[in-house]
Structure 1
Amino acid sequence: MTETSHSETVETETTTLPGSATSSGEFITPGQTSAKKVIFDQALYRHLTLAWGGIVAALSLSPSIPSQVHYASDKVEHMAAYALLCFLAMRGWSGTKFVFLIFLGVMFYGALMEGVQWFVPGRSTEALDALANCIGAFSGLIVASVWIAAKSKRTPPLVK
């Protein structure tokens, strides 16, 4: 029996301690993360944003099922859905130049979902639902801004 050996290049992720250099020569200071981790995190949040946006669309555009949902809890559900959507988008496309565009995009998406419901059997377009979507988007924007500022220990993107 003959054994053949082949070489494989295996890339391993190593943890770099603050105050030391990475294998690429990049210097990490205390409280700082590597560029690879930032890119991975942004990609993850971008995918989560798209997935959650799809779930919101599916829920918004499915024919209505009679339920015992109270009026106030319906508005809270709208706010929570769009707060999460805006939060995920802010984390995925973090950077001060995108804050306003993300907020407008999520508000537009909420208005679009409400408008398209006009054509879905058993659904209706409600201005108060669209308002709840906008309030949720704004809440997500605030929470994400505070979160990003706390993680980076700098001025929140909203304040700049």
Structure 2
Amino acid sequence: MTKKQRAREYWYRRGSIDAEEGGDRHAPPHSGFLDHLFSGDQSDTESRNAYREGFASGRAQRKFDVQGAYLRRTDLSLANLEGANLSNADFSNANLRGANFKDTNLTGTVLKGADLTDARNLTPSQLRTAVLDETTKLPGEFSLEDFLRDQG
């Protein structure tokens, strides 16, 4: 099962998608977002390429927006979160290893215990706006103590 399929199954189990009717209940990520997030998966190639082309050219109509969502223990390793709005979302103990954070809004994002090892395009200004704790794992170029001192 691909990451995209696992994510879709997760949303069904959470009750965010009405499996019987195929409709959206609580606006889960659009399948285009799943394609974008898990661009390494080899399924739905045409759909993924079309979405990527639209996103790269600025024609994409949707951005990944999970503002205020409860996403604890979510595995978004290697996800492309470029331009995403993760503000005030709870990513406690989430796996975000190797994720791309270019232009991502992390204002108020709870990253307590989150694993950001090898995260790409993550900036100090983004981390200063997020909520971290001593169990948060940052990429090697950052010192967790500096950010915890700034929060305190």
Give yes or no for TM over 0.5.
no
Greater relative contact order (CA < 8 Å, ≥ 6 in sequence): 1
Structure number with greater Rg is 1
Q: The TM-score by the shorter chain falls in which range?
A: under 0.3
Higher percent of residues as helix: 1
Alignment TM-score, normalising by the size of structure 2: 0.23
